[in-house]
Amino acid sequence: MNTTINTFGALKASGYISKSIKIELRDNLITALKSGTPTFSGMHGYEHTVIPQLERAILSKHNINLLGLRGQGKTRIARLMVNLLDEFIPVVAGSEMNDDPFNPISRYARDLLAEKGDETPIIWLHRSDRFFEKLATPDVTIADLIGDIDPIKAANLKLNYSDERVIHFGMIPRANRCIFVINELPDLQARIQVALFNILEEGDIQIRGFKLRLPLDLQFVFTANPEDYTNRGSIVTPLKDRIGSQILTHYSADIQTAKTITSQETEKLENRHCMVHVPELAKDILEQVAFEARESEYIDHKSGVSARMSITAYENLISTAERRAILNNEQETTVRFSDLIGMIPSITGKVELVYEGEQEGTSFVANHLIGEATKTLFLKYFPKIEKLKKQDQETPYDAVLNWFFEADALELSDEANEETYSTTLQAIDPLKQLILKYQPHVAPKDAPFLMEFVIWALVELKQLSKRRTADGISFNDLYDNLIKGL
């Protein structure tokens, strides 16, 4: 479209065809589907579930309600819909409601077109300016969303209150020909939800006795948590009836998808003081923590565990390793298993605990989740440790456990440099042999992390003991603490 056109007459001469926003979304979606262009890029894990439902809703020209727990990308989906709009649309210059020159709805635009005709000035509105978003909070009023009488405007224009020009329009009329998102719809007071009925169905609005026929052209997108979780309010039934499609969102179904999302959201972390290498196993454990949290008896399942937990935990994990490298004046470092403790502040603030969890405390629950993730992934890399074994029965871990029985202790300092850390672990020859036997293809850079992973897993599986020291962690034989106590 030629955006240099600046009058209504030139726009008509160009052959421009006006269309509603729902037709616009539908036509551009059809074009994208035919060409194989991704419609909601970056929404990983939704390719065969949520996205097909979204596409069907757009093809049906429906208003949409995205229903799901926190951190499932509902708002991002709404923002990505902007990409299905035309790049530019013509608007009557000076209009506060983005009036289509072919179908003006405001008094201002109608009067201007009647006065100037083909000479009516036109401006072009980019699709990035056609997204409006409002978080539903208890203090939102009808005046905010729809409008109210403005006594100052009436006084300045010397008009009485029966003239529609005294109305100050709210966010929804001003979002004409745009995507309008209301986040957390159940938080919106019931009387405000009722005010949306006619806008969704008939397109007219009522403001303090004025009944204006404003055929607003809007694509509504609502977001909400499941009503059985949201105890602050609910979506009134007639409003739900007027929303064409309700689409359920969900969390990642597997670790690989979760890793892809976390990687996508943390690309900016590459600009660091030093190079921080993160073993794939560390990323797997981090994501597994979220999976364990969603099943944990300590956490309220109805509140969900946001994907933001994994993102912020990854940021803290990188920062833990970076801080140590800065202290040791190193230009390159590798994440260690003990660095996972640095994720705890990101976990404790992202989970809602049930009564049992509150009794144990957030720090205990966070450590518990890391321990459960460690045990789960340990079985994917190494043989299972039987709780009961026959007398004289040998296990793959006997040599490692004997090493700890004969040694005083293994001390791993939080701030040890790379050389000291690696040398300390490489000194455990049985542990090296275990890694060579069951994970022979591990990269040399990842080997220290894998060795420490085995030690921590043996602690979680009650084969070794650990205790916190002044500057790190001390690992020893399972009965060491008991013997010292005696």
pLDDT in tens, the chain (486 residues): 678 899 999 999 999 999 999 999 999 999 999 999 999 998 999 999 999 999 999 999 999 999 998 889 999 999 999 999 999 999 999 998 899 999 998 888 999 999 999 999 999 999 999 999 999 888 888 888 887 766 666 666 666 655 666 677 889 889 999 999 999 888 888 888 888 887 887 666 666 666 667 788 999 999 998 854 444 568 888 888 889 999 999 999 999 999 999 988 886 666 677 889 999 999 999 999 999 999 999 998 888 888 899 999 999 999 999 999 999 999 999 999 999 999 999 998 888 898 888 898 889 999 999 999 999 999 999 998 876 566 666 788 989 999 998 887 889 999 999 999 999 999 999 999 999 999 999 999 999 999 999 999 999 999 999 988 888 899 998 776 555 554
Residue bearing tokens 């981090």: 286
| Euclidean distance between CA atoms 23 and 21, whole angstroms | 5
In the chain, domain spans: 8-248, 252-381, 385-486
Q: Tell me, what's the pLDDT at 163?
A: 63
Q: 250: which DSSP letter?
A: -
| Euclidean distance between CA atoms 481 and 452, whole angstroms | 20
pLDDT digits (tens, 9 = 90+) for 27-56: 999 999 999 999 999 899 999 999 999 999
From first CA to last CA, the distance across the chain in angstroms is: 85
Radius of gyration of the chain (CA): 30
Q: Tell me, what's the pLDDT at 157?
A: 65
Q: Tell me, what's the pLDDT at 438?
A: 93
Which of 166, 176, 236, 152 is closest to 20 using CA atoms? 176
| Euclidean distance between CA atoms 318 and 274, whole angstroms | 10
Q: Beta strand pairing status for 464-468 and 472-477? A: antiparallel
Q: Tell me, what's the pLDDT at 280?
A: 95
8 A C-beta contact, residue 247 and residue 54: yes
8 A C-beta contact, residue 226 and residue 300: no
List residues bridging with 145 in a β-sheet: none
Q: Tell me, what's the pLDDT at 409?
A: 82
Q: Tell me, what's the pLDDT at 74?
A: 92
| Euclidean distance between CA atoms 408 and 476, whole angstroms | 7
| Euclidean distance between CA atoms 210 and 322, whole angstroms | 62
Residue 440 CB: number of other CB atoms within 10 A?
Answer: 7
pLDDT digits (tens, 9 = 90+) for 166-196: 677 889 889 999 999 999 888 888 888 888 8
Residue bearing tokens 């072919």: 102
| Euclidean distance between CA atoms 279 and 381, whole angstroms | 14
8 A C-beta contact, residue 104 and residue 92: yes
8 A C-beta contact, residue 64 and residue 209: no
Q: Tell me, what's the pLDDT at 229?
A: 46
| Euclidean distance between CA atoms 298 and 282, whole angstroms | 24
| Fold match, 8-248 / 252-381 | no
Secondary structure element (H or E) that encloses residue 157, with its range:
helix 151-157
Give the burial string for 320-347 (b: 16+ CB within 10 Å, else e). Answer: bbbbbbeebebeebbbbbbbbbbbbebb
Give 167: exposed, middle or buried? Use CB within 10 Å, 0-12, 13-18, 19+: buried
- Please report which residue ranges of 188-306 form alpha helices under DSSP H: 190-195, 197-201, 237-242, 255-265, 280-295
8 A C-beta contact, residue 239 and residue 195: no
Secondary structure element (H or E) that encloses residue 420, with its range:
helix 418-426
Per the structure block, which two tokens stand in for 201?
């169905």
Give 41: exposed, middle or buried? Use CB within 10 Å, 0-12, 13-18, 19+: exposed
Residue 264 CB: number of other CB atoms within 10 A?
Answer: 11
Q: Quick one: fold of 8-248?
A: Rossmann fold (3.40.50)
Using DSSP, state whether 275 is helix, strand or coil: strand
| Euclidean distance between CA atoms 420 and 318, whole angstroms | 20
Q: Quick one: fold of 252-381?
A: Helicase, Ruva Protein; domain 3 (1.10.8)
| Helical pair 362-381 and 280-295, crossing angle rounded to 10 deg | 120
pLDDT digits (tens, 9 = 90+) for 406-430: 887 889 999 999 999 999 999 999 9
